[in-house]
A and B are shown apart, each in its own frame.
Chain A
Amino acid sequence: MAEPRASRAGARWLWPLLALPGTVWLAVLFVAPLYVVLAILFGTVDPILRQPVPVWNPLDWDLSQFRYVWQHIVGENPFFRPALLRTVVYVGVASLLCLLVAYPVAYYTARFAGRWKGVLLAALIAPFWISYMMRMLAWVNLLQADGLVNKALSVGWLPDVHRAWLNGQPTTVVLGLVYGYVPYMILPLFAGLDRTPTAVLEAARDLGANRWETFRRVTWPMSRAAVVVSLLVTTLPMLGDYFTNDLLSGSPATSMVGNLINNSVLTPGQTGQAGAFVVLILIVSIVPMVAYVRSTRAGSEVQS
Chain B
Amino acid sequence: MLDALRLPQGPRMSVRGWWRDPWRKPRVLLLFTLLYLVWSLLPVLVAALFSFNAGRSRVTWQGFSMRWYYGDPLRSVWHDASLHTALTHTLWLGVVATALVVPLGVAMALGLDRWRGRIPAGANLAVLVSFVLPEILVAVSLLFVATVLTTPLDLGTTGQVIGLVTFQLSYPVVIVRARLLTIGKDYEEAAVDLGASPLGAVRRVLMRMLLPAIFASAVLVFADVIDDFIIVRYLSGDSSTEPVSVKVYNTARAAPTPALNALTTLLLVASLLAVVLGFVAYRWFTRGEKGVRTLDAFAAET
Contact = CB atoms under 8 A, between A and B. Distances in A.
B59 interface: yes
A34 B32 contact: no
Q: Is the interface of B mostly helix, strand, loop or mixed?
A: helix
B40 A11 contact: no
A303 interface: no
Contact of B192 (A7, A140, A146, A237): A7
B77 interface: no
A194 B299 CA distance: 11
Contact of A121 (B104, B272, B295): B295
B249 A130 contact: no
Contact of B245 (A10, A23, A131, A271): A131
B59 A141 contact: yes
A23 B141 contact: no
Interface stretch (B5-13, B63-71, B123-131, B280-288): B123-131
Contacts of B295: 118, 121-122
Contacts of A3: 195
A45 B223 CA distance: 39
Contacts of B271: 129-131
B20 A210 contact: yes
Contacts of B59: 141, 144, 146-148
A250 B298 CA distance: 35
Contact of B134 (A26, A130, A236): A236
A3 B198 CA distance: 11
Contacts of A141: 43, 46-47, 50, 58-59, 261
Contacts of A14: 111, 198-199, 202
A133 to B, nearest CB: 4
B175 interface: no
Given A31-B126, A129-B275, A243 B229 contact: yes
A13 to B, nearest CB: 9
B22 A137 contact: no
B218 interface: no
A10 B130 contact: no
A22 B106 CA distance: 9
Interface in B48-74: 50, 58-59
Contacts of B300: 191
B166 to A, nearest CB: 5
B169 A125 contact: no
Contacts of A210: 20, 22
Interface stretch (A65-73, A153-161, A277-285): A277-285
A131 B123 contact: no
Nearest to A125: B298
Interface residues of B, number: 96
A16 B22 contact: no
Given A33-B141, A289-B128, A137 B104 contact: no
Given A14-B202, A141-B59, A142-B43, A22 B169 contact: yes
Contacts of A274: 140
B137 A282 contact: yes
B252 interface: yes
B180 to A, nearest CB: 12
Interface string B215-247: 000001001001101100010000000001100
B264 A101 contact: no
A222 interface: no
A84 to B, nearest CB: 15
A229 B141 contact: no
Nearest to A282: B137
A2 interface: no
A131 B222 CA distance: 12
B140 A136 contact: no
Interface residues of A, number: 107
Contacts of B277: none
A15 B115 contact: yes
A32 B141 CA distance: 9
B33 A18 contact: no
B132 A271 contact: no
Nearest to B32: A104
B2 interface: no
Contact of A123 (B30, B37, B108, B274): B37
B156 interface: no
Contact of A104 (B29, B40, B141): B29
B204 to A, nearest CB: 14
Q: Among A21, A51, A120, find the residue whose CB has the most chain B CB atoms closer than 10 A.
A: A21
B182 to A, nearest CB: 13
B29 A132 contact: no
B197 interface: yes
Interface of A: 3-4, 7-8, 10-11, 14-23, 25-27, 29-34, 36-37, 40, 51-52, 54, 101, 104-105, 107-109, 111-112, 118, 120-142, 144, 146-148, 166, 179, 182-183, 187-188, 190-191, 194, 205, 210-211, 229-230, 232-233, 236-237, 239-243, 246-247, 250, 258, 261-262, 265, 271, 274-275, 278, 281-282, 285-286, 289, 293
> A-B pairs with the 4 shortest C-beta distances?
A19-B111, A240-B134, A22-B108, A18-B111
